Amino acid sequence: MFVYEKKLQYPVRIARPDPKMAARIISQYGGPDGELGASLRYLSQRFAMPCGELKGLLTDIGVEELGHLEIVGAMIQQLTRNLSCDDIKKAGFDAYFVDHGAGVYPTSSAGMPYHAAGMQSKGDPLTDLHEDIAADAAIMQEQQDPKSGLKNG
């Protein structure tokens, strides 16, 4: 059961399209440690938790990750709107546009489509929580990498 409010909690308002930035952050949507994988990971792992409080916690986190998916999707859409073919090609985002046009598609920055093999649900609470922490740590490190052009926070 989900309740969906038809507005973003934190509306995305990007004034200027930037396909280079979109090409970098698309992994946050559907990359190996992105929001799609995180939401499915938590919502799948909840079933093996030994008590109701932990099941509820992972359900809450999984739903929150779905909200992040919507925010990142809005960012990608706004960063790629109304681009010329030259803008797309110059940004190196042309291969993505060949297959997906202006659609937001779950993929990594390297062009690898999302696949469930990138997440785990082992049925052991400690193993699953360890995997969750590792995936979140990978995203934090990526956001703090000065070469990525992204800043955490």
Residue-range domain boundaries for the chain? 19-148
C-alpha to C-alpha distances, 76 to 25, 31, 129, nearest whole angstrom: 8, 13, 29
Q: What is the pLDDT of residue 139?
A: 65
- Say what the pTM is: 0.78
- Binning pLDDT at 50, 70 and 90, where does residue 152 land? very low
**pLDDT at residue 140 is higher than 90:** no
pLDDT tens for 3-38 read 777 777 778 999 999 988 998 899 999 988 899 999
C-alpha to C-alpha distances, 30 to 40, 133, 139, 150, nearest whole angstrom: 11, 18, 12, 17
pLDDT tens for 53-66 read 999 999 999 999 99
Q: Compute the distance between CA of residue 8 and CA of residue 74 in angstroms, rounded to an integer.
A: 9
Could you tell me which residues are beta bridge partners of residue 113? Answer: 107
Residue found by looking up tokens 């999984």 in the block: 62
For residues 44 and 107, the answer to whether their CB atoms sit within 8 Å is no
| Level-2 CATH architecture, domain 19-148 | Up-down Bundle (1.20)
Indicate the residue type of 57: L
